[in-house]
Amino acid sequence: MTTITGIDTTPPAALTVSVCRTCAVEHAERPDTCAICADERQWVPASGQAWTTLEELAGEGCAVSVRELEPGLVALEVAPGVGIGQQSKLVLTSAGALLWDPLGFVDDAAVDAVAGLAGEGGVVAVAASHPHMFGAQVEWSRRLTAVTGREVPVLVSEADAGWVARPDPVIETWAPGPAGEREILPGVWLSQPGGHFPGSAVVHWEAGADGRGVLLSGDTIFANPDRTASFMRSYPNRIPLSAAVVTRVAAHVARRPFDRLYNNFDGVIPADARDVVLRSAERHAAWVRGDFDHLT
């Protein structure tokens, strides 16, 4: 066994990680019900709580695929799908990489692929937009640390730290500084507009979209099929946010320029995304205020 600043880097094959079948968030123990799924923003299936492990998922044929979205940005996906089925993003810079919205499944091949893409700078952090996207965040960190010999912290918003179901020394809580954001890599900014969860976070990547800027929004802001945006407390249960919160979220992300937006699945607003977000927020606020009740 070796350690890096107190972190156990024993090859993780001997570890058994419990994974919720519905949300694919890793758990140190198996409670009667996954707290994340029992919340009104998620759901527990009518058939009841079900659990699995990474080893079982591998035996079911799960594998991670890698696809370039644009230069410097890579999508990671699991097939067959696991849990919510988010699309993880890997932001690549000359100084290192950020693994965003980590998948609920990881194996050695996926870790090798990510470490290879990250290059000499390595993966500097694993971070999720909100608790639904925690996935196997600790397992990703521990396996990357074991392969690269370099500590990979898991960044969790202080406001949402209570949702962590697998505590570990690799987890580092963070809160917005005086400027309301934290620079993870040169030109890669993590900030916390809240909304969907109090700690809901986004990433601004200023070099993306050929230098016009990219916003990785998780589902703090969701890209719609018509290339507008939506804002919800719960997407599966159709619970909206208030006009005031949506206006606040849009104003927060608009502080930095971005031309393109990617959510936590395949959704993208390919151009003029900052203006689209602001217009969409105005539309949402008007509807929930009742401005258009005469149309109903």
Q: Model confidence at 148, in pLDDT bands (50, 70, 90)?
A: very high
Give the dihedral sign, CA 278/281/283/289. negative
Q: Kindly state the average pLDDT of the residues 154-176.
A: 97
Q: Could you give the CA distance from residue 92 to residue 225 in angstroms, rounded to a whole number?
A: 27
Measured CA to CA in angstroms, residue 260 lies from 16, 70, 265, 266, 273 at distances of: 39, 11, 14, 13, 5
pLDDT in tens, 219-271: 999 999 999 999 999 999 999 999 999 999 999 999 999 999 999 999 999 99
pLDDT of residue 133: 98
pLDDT of residue 13: 41
Tokens 């990474």: give the residue: 54
Query: 15 pLDDT exceeds 80?
Result: no
Q: Could you give the CA distance from residue 162 to residue 151 in angstroms, rounded to a whole number?
A: 23
Domains of the chain, earliest start first: 1-175 (3.60.15), 176-296 (3.60.15.10)
pLDDT in tens, 169-216: 999 999 988 778 999 999 999 999 999 999 999 999 999 999 999 999
* 136 phi, psi to nearest 5 deg: -100, 50
- C-alpha closest to that of 214 among 128, 93, 58, 39: 93
pLDDT in tens, 99-114: 999 999 999 999 999 9
Contact between 260 and 270 under an 8 Å Cβ cutoff? The reply is yes
Q: Provide, rounded to the nearest whole percent, the portion of the chain with pLDDT above 90.
A: 93
| Neighbour order of strands in the sheet with 73-79 | 63-70, 73-79, 88-93, 96-100, 123-127, 154-157, 171-174
Least confident of 27-41, 62-76, 167-181: 167-181
- C-alpha closest to that of 250 among 230, 224, 225: 230
- C-alpha closest to that of 137 among 171, 98, 169: 171
The angle at the Cα of 131, spanning 130 to 135, to the nearest 5 degrees, equals 110
Q: Could you give the CA distance from residue 145 to residue 11 in angstroms, rounded to a whole number?
A: 10
pLDDT of residue 9: 42
Measured CA to CA in angstroms, residue 285 lies from 126, 195, 216, 238 at distances of: 33, 14, 22, 16
pLDDT of residue 12: 42
Q: Which residues of 132-169 are buried (b: 16+ CB within 10 A; e: fewer)?
A: bbbbbbbbbbbbbbbbbebbbbbbbbebbeebbbbebe
